[in-house]
A = this chain, B = another copy of it.
Amino acid sequence: MAQDDWALGVDLGGTKVEVAAVNTSGTIRRLLRKPADVQGGPDSIVAQIAQMARELKEQDSSAPLGVGVGVAGQIAADTGVVQFSPNLNWHGVPFQEKLDKALKLPVVILNDVRAATWGEWLHGAGQGVDDLICLFIGTGIGGGVVSAGKVLSGASNAAGELGHITVDLHGPICTCGNRGCLEALAGGWAIARRAMVAINDSPLAGEALLKAAGLSKPIRAKEVNAKLVTDAAQAGDPLARLLVEEIIQALIAGAVGLVNAFNPSRLILGGGVTAGLPQLVERLDQGIRRYALKAAGEAVEVLPAKLGNNAGVVGAATLALQSFEA
């Protein structure tokens, strides 16, 4: 790869589409963000991305090597067909083929969390190591695993669903249908659900939380979110602190299992819930040192993600640069 090579990185979620021009060093030259026209279906999204790509290309003297696209959904590895995306309500969309035609550039499609893992690995908190786990703890919990210098993809390109490891077999039902998934205990939606139940059940508790949110009982799940809970815990609300402790214990249990199974040298934590829990990196580090097997626990360092919301576009563009270099 030449040093002035660049690629387009796309991050397509259920609400917004981002397109960035990214250097080989992982630096973002320019970034555009728009609300995703999900209602218009795949062709509208393709048109949106093509328009944004055109804007970015016009501002540059050289042409991009190609386009990497991270999509929230399950992707067929060989064809770049989006087999299923709940957020976009897509089933079997030949997205790579459509983008190829519209952009007249080579396109590679991958899962959005996998793209973010590429970003953190090569240009973020994972630089320089061959074995790592990224855990993105937001509304849901997603993950990505690098082992022996390869991003694991599994038999059907679905590996790394680390939010759906069972950590409490008698625990609450997850949106996936399993019981006690890590996400069902520590994902943003689960925190909100748990907080709603706890506040409504307890005659006095959660007052700071309610006051901060301008809410009164009985509350509904939609009225409370993970940020309210973590903010209230910071402000000293006893119920919120209890809920935060439960979340951290679940994350320790999950992290210990992942460290024992994968033996990474770094565990990288990203996502909105992580941002709301400034103590999380240290607590997970302590928990792993105490509860993981010695050989695995000693090998791993817990670190916050570095690229924030840009991990996806940087990772997708980086994969494109690697895939399409001359």
Contacts and interface: CB of A to CB of B under 8 A. Distances in A.
- For A84, A162, A250, A291, the residue with the greatest tally of chain B CB atoms inside 10 Å of its CB is A291
Contacts of A299: 154-156, 158
A166 B167 contact: yes
Contact of A158 (B148, B257, B295): B295
Contacts of A294: 84
Nearest to A130: B155
Interface in A269-315: 290-296, 298-300
A9 interface: no
A51 B22 CA distance: 62
A180 interface: yes
Number of copies: 2
A181 to B, nearest CB: 8
Bin the interface of chain A by size.
35 or more
Interface string A15-50: 000000000000000000000000000000000000
B147 A154 contact: yes
A263 B159 CA distance: 5
The 5 A-B residue pairs with the shortest CB-CB distance, nearest first, are A154-B263, A165-B257, A155-B265, A159-B263, A169-B253
12 contacts: A74-B295, A129-B155, A152-B262, A154-B299, A155-B265, A158-B293, A158-B296, A161-B296, A165-B165, A165-B260, A176-B293, A261-B261
